[in-house]
């Protein structure tokens, strides 16, 4: 059983303390949503978890391996990562992109992730000729194809229509159910409420709340953190919290 | 042209066509290079020379055999080796910097290697070993490639890097010009050699030294081909896939510097081959480096041997500098490719 443990993490960029005392413990088969306003530290937290940024304090541990002390090769087995920005000027066809990496992904596994992200019909298209939403789905397929213990995704649904948002979140659920951990920064609170098992609400580098969506998505707390009045009701079909923005006074 | 959609098997078919065409091109340009020239030589003479050198027949000892063995064959082979080095160097630089405008001449690696070659020449006595010149050029090439990498860390891998490389190259050429003027010795190649290259002085000794370093340089790039593919997604994405991008870049740039340097020691600065050959091939066979690197070697060889054969016969008995021809044709092809393909730099 794998877990990812973030222990008292702090990151300083220049004079600014971007993350301050962040803790998280996610077991396998879980989808963890990281939510919070712009500039709250979501991307930085993901990049520290991915091993891209060395923390100034605290640590990230995946399984038994401390991320900051793990080799690049070993890290690729522990986590995959999809950044918020898609690469430019990539002339490889989609299927090649999904299969290349440290090891070649077997054809069957590549077909499965292409199916799960509705990109099978794009497999012979050149990556840079795709729309931004299509590129994002290919990126997610690539992140899932690596079969790493933890999948880290920065805004994986930002360019997707509602149908593909639901499809991708369903694919992430299946991936988690297969024994993996999915950690995703998500702007859409209702998407996070519907699909995440655990939410971390960041506010200016600190954890404002952490727990199940029912606990974290509380109207007063969200209104304070986002500086935007909201109401939270129950989703009539899904039963999870539904966040409604209110007109500013 | 970059194809938005490839049919299954399309890339494989294109790779086989390119491989077949380039192998045929090597045979055709190689034979043309052996036959063309002031001395009248036939294909039968070439065959007789090969048989005699392989020990299958006794040497005829006539002039045509001597011309073929001592002048034309080393010249054709040097052209092929230099072309391979430039093709691979350009292809690998475009992969490392994810910028299809990258090339050994444009990034100043070729001209800096020229300074290294002159330094090597300075420590050699007249008629001495060719190794100091070859090694001097290779070391300078490696230093220049490393400096460009450092520069890219500071100014990025886009157009600014290309302009900085161009500035380094022009400055190195100016210093080469100064050395040629001040030294004023028949041992130092002319300024034209450093600007436009020449295969006129090709010898077996220089060819052996140059080929050794070029083979090592190409080998260093070839073994990293698959990792260069992943790096096309960006360095962060490659690292996330378990690729130690720093070590890949170091190894490939070491190979590029050594191969480019050795090619400059052999034939001076021949432009546009390293830029245009990988670009043309990438647009035809796709971006996979395990194919692109070997095909660029073949394409570079065909381009330089063909250009040299035209260079020494078109205005005979005068000889046109080979780099003048590669630039005259390579420049317009580059612009044509740029217009067709659109945006190249990151």
Q: Residue B287's domain is classified under what CATH number?
A: 1.10.3470.10
Chain B positions touching A101 (Cβ under 8 A) are: 230, 241-242
Taking each helix axis as running N to C, give the angle between helix B273-285 and helix B322-341, from 0 to 180 degrees, rounded to the nearest 10.
Answer: 40
- Say if the Cβ atoms of A72 and B243 lie within 8 Å: yes
Phi and psi, residue A237, nearest 5°: -105, -40
When divided into structural domains, chain B yields a total of 1
**Distance between CA B43 and CA B45 in Å, rounded?**
5
Q: Name the minimum distance, in Å, from the CA of A234 to any CA of chain B.
A: 39
Provide the pairing of β-strand A31-35 with A198-203.
parallel
pLDDT digits (tens, 9 = 90+) for B6-26: 666 788 899 999 999 999 999
Which residues partner with A183 through β-bridges? A32, A152
Q: Tell me what the mean pLDDT of segment B90-107 comes to.
A: 94
| Structural domain contains residue B77 | yes
Query: Whole-number mean pLDDT of chain A?
Result: 94
Is the distance from CB of A149 to CB of A28 less than 8 angstroms?
yes
Which of chain A's residues have a Cβ under 8 Å away from the Cβ of B243?
A: 72, 102
- pLDDT of B346 strictly over 50: no
A45 Cα to chain B: minimum distance (Å): 16
Give percent of chain A above pLDDT 90.
Answer: 89
Question: What average pLDDT does range A62-91 have in this prediction?
Answer: 92
Find residue A185's DSSP bridge partners.
A34, A154
Burial-class residue B52 by CB neighbours within 10 Å (0-12, 13-18, 19+). Answer: middle
Would the pTM of this model clear 0.80, i.e. be above it? yes
- Find the chain B residues whose C-beta atoms sit closer than 8 A to any C-beta of A: 2-8, 11, 98, 226, 229-230, 232-234, 236-237, 239-244, 282, 286-288, 343-344, 346
d(CA A30, CA A198): 8
Distance from CA of B343 to the nearest CA of A (A): 8
Under the phi-then-psi rule, with left for phi > 0, alpha for psi from -120 to 50, and beta for the rest, what region is B102?
beta
- Asked if B263 and B301 touch (Cβ cutoff 8 Å), the reply is no
Distances (CA, A) of B339 to A128, B3, B328, B343, B344: 17, 15, 18, 9, 10
Q: What is the largest CA-CA distance in chain A?
A: 56
What stretch of H or E contains A206?
Answer: strand A206-211
Residue B330 has pLDDT above 70, yes or no: yes
Q: Which of A77, A89, A125 sits opposite B343 (nearest CB)?
A: A89
Residue B1, pLDDT above cutoff 70: no
A168 compared with B125, residue with greater pLDDT: A168
CA distance B283 to chain A (A): 9
Q: Residue B8: what pLDDT?
A: 65
User: At B2, is the pLDDT very low, low, confident or very high (cuts 50, 70, 90)?
Assistant: low
Task: State residue A32 phi and psi, 5-degree precision.
Answer: -105, 125
Task: Output B38 or B135, whichever has higher pLDDT.
Answer: B135
Q: What is the mean pLDDT of residues A41-64?
A: 96
Residues A220-236: tens digit of each pLDDT: 999 999 999 999 999 99
Distance CA B321, CA B335 (A): 22
Tokens of B155: 């100014």
Please check the confidence at residue B313 and state whether its pLDDT lies above 70. yes
* Span B242-261, average pLDDT: 96
Is the CB of A89 inside 8 Å of chain B's CB atoms?
yes
Which of A46, A48, A72 to mutate: most B Cβ within 10 Å? Answer: A72
In the predicted model, what is the mean pLDDT of residues B45-64? 77
Query: What's the rounded mean pLDDT across residues B293-309?
Result: 97
Ranking A177-186, B33-42, B283-292 by mean pLDDT, the lowest is B33-42
Phi, psi dihedral angles at A231 (to 5 degrees)? -120, 145
- The Cα of B2 is separated from the nearest Cα of chain A by a number of Å equal to 8
Distance from CA of B288 to the nearest CA of A (A): 8
Reduced to 3 states, what is the DSSP secondary structure of residue B259? helix
Res B60: pLDDT? 66
Could you give the strand order of the β-sheet that contains A181-185, starting from the edge strand earlier in sequence? Answer: A79-82, A150-154, A181-185, A31-35, A198-203, A206-211
Interface-testing mutation among B237, B341, B342, with chain A (most A C-beta atoms within 10 A): B237
CA distance A128 to A124: 12
Give B173's pLDDT tier (boundaries 50, 70, 90): very high
CA dist., res. B213 & res. B209, Å (int): 7
Q: What is the pLDDT of residue B59?
A: 65
CB contacts, 8 Å: A129 with chain B: 2, 4-5
For residues B82-105, average pLDDT: 95
Please, which pLDDT band fits residue B343 given cuts at 50, 70 and 90?
Answer: low
Average pLDDT of chain B is 90
Tell me the average pLDDT across A56-78: 94
| Confidence band of B249 (pLDDT split at 50, 70, 90) | very high
Record: contact A96-B288, CB cut-off 8 A: yes
Position B11 in a domain: no
Cα separation of B140 and B260, whole Å? 10
Read out DSSP for B104-168? TTTTTHHHHHHHHHHHHHHTS-TT--SHHHHHHHHHHHHHHHHHHHHHHHHH-SSHHHHHHHHHH
- Residue B158's pLDDT is what? 84
Cβ atoms of residues A25 and A74 within 8 Å: no
Q: Per the structure block, which two tokens stand in for B322? A: 């080979």
Domain that holds residue B223: 73-341
- How close does chain A come to B245, measured CA to CA in Å? 10
Contacts of A73 in chain B (CB under 8 A): 242, 244
A131 in contact with chain B, both atoms CB, cutoff 8 A: no
- Which residues in chain B are contacts of A88 at CB distance < 8 A? 346
Quote the CATH superfamily of domain A3-218.
P-loop containing nucleotide triphosphate hydrolases (3.40.50.300)
Percent of chain A with pLDDT over 70: 99
Beta-carbon contacts of residue A116 (< 8 Å; ≥ 6 apart): A141, A144, A167, A171, A174
DSSP A93: B
Q: What is the mean pLDDT of residues A194-220?
A: 97
Q: Find, in chain B, the residue whose alpha carbon is nearest to that of A70.
A: B242
Domain boundaries, chain A: 3-218
pLDDT of residue A249: 75
Predicted pLDDT of residue B62? 76
pLDDT (tens digit, 9 = 90+) per residue, B225-241?
Answer: 999 999 999 999 999 99
- pLDDT of the residue at A58: 96
Q: What is the mean pLDDT of residues A189-211?
A: 97
Q: Least CB-CB distance to B240: which of A80, A89, A96?
A: A80
Q: Are the Cβ atoms of B244 and A90 closer than 8 angstroms?
A: no
Mean pLDDT for A27-43 is 96
Q: Is the pLDDT of residue B254 over 60?
A: yes
Whether B92 contacts B86, CB under 8 Å: no
DSSP per-residue string spanning A56-83: SEEEEEETTEEGGGS-HHHHHHHEEEE-
A91 chain-B contacts, CB cut-off 8 A: 2, 232, 282, 286-287
A188-200 average pLDDT score: 97
Mean pLDDT of A13-17: 90
Task: Give the chain B residue nearest A144 (alpha carbons).
Answer: B241
């Amino acid at each position: 059983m794998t877990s990812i443990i973030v222990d008292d993490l702090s990151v300083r960029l220049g004079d600014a303390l971007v993350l301050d005392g962040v803790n998280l413990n996610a077991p396998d088969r879980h989808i963890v949503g990281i939510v919070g306003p712009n500039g709250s530290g979501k991307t930085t937290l993901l990049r520290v978890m991915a091993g891209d940024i060395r923390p100034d304090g605290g640590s990230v541990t995946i399984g038994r391996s401390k991320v900051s002390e793990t080799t690049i090769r070993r890290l690729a087995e522990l986590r995959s990562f999809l950044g918020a920005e898609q690469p430019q000027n990539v002339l490889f066809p989609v299927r090649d992109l999904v299969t290349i990496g440290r090891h070649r992904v077997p054809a069957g596994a590549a077909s499965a992730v292409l199916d799960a992200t509705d990109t099978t019909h794009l497999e012979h298209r050149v990556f840079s000729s795709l729309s931004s939403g299509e590129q994002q789905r290919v990126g997610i397929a690539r992140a899932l194809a690596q079969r790493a213990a933890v999948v880290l995704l920065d805004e994986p649904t930002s360019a997707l229509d509602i149908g593909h948002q639901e499809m991708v979140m369903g694919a992430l659920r299946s991936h988690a159910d297969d024994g993996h951990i999915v950690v995703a920064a998500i702007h859409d609170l209702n998407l996070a409420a519907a699909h995440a098992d655990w939410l971390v609400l960041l506010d200016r580098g600190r954890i404002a709340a952490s727990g199940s969506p029912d606990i974290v998505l509380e109207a007063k707390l969200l209104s304070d953190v986002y500086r935007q009045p909201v109401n939270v009701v129950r989703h009539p079909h899904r039963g999870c919290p539904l966040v409604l923005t209110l007109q500013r006074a | 042209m970059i194809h938005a959609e490839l049919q299954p098997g399309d890339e494989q078919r294109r790779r086989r066509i390119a491989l077949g065409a380039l192998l045929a091109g090597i045979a055709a340009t190689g034979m043309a290079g052996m036959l063309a020239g002031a001395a009248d030589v036939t294909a039968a003479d070439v065959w007789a020379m090969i048989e005699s050198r392989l020990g299958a027949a006794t040497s005829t000892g006539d002039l045509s055999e001597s011309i073929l063995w001592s002048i034309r064959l080393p010249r054709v082979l040097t052209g092929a080796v230099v072309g391979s080095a430039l093709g691979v160097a350009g292809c690998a630089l475009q992969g490392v910097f994810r910028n299809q405008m990258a090339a050994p001449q444009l990034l100043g690696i070729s001209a800096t290697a020229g300074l290294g070659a002159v330094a090597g020449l300075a420590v050699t006595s007249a008629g001495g070993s060719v190794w100091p010149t070859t090694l001097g050029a290779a070391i300078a090439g490696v230093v220049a490639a490393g400096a460009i990498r450092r520069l890219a860390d500071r100014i990025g891998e886009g157009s600014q890097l290309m302009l900085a490389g161009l500035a380094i190259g022009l400055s190195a050429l100016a210093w080469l010009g100064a050395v040629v003027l001040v030294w004023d010795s028949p041992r130092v190649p002319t300024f034209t050699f450093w600007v436009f290259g020449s295969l006129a002085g090709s010898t077996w000794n220089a060819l052996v030294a140059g080929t050794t370093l070029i083979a090592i340089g190409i080998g260093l790039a070839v073994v990293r081909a698959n990792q260069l593919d992943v790096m096309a997604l960006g360095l962060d994405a490659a690292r996330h896939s378990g690729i130690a991008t720093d070590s890949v870049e170091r190894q490939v740039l070491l190979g590029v510097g050594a191969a480019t340097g050795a090619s400059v020691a052999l034939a001076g600065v021949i432009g546009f081959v390293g830029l245009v050959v990988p670009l043309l091939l990438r647009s035809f066979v796709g971006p996979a480096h395990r194919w692109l690197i070997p095909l660029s070697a073949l394409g570079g060889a065909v381009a330089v041997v063909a250009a040299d054969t035209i260079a020494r016969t078109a205005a005979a008995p005068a000889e046109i500098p080979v780099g003048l021809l590669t630039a005259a044709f390579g420049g317009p092809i580059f612009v044509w490719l740029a217009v067709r393909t659109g945006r190249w730099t990151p």
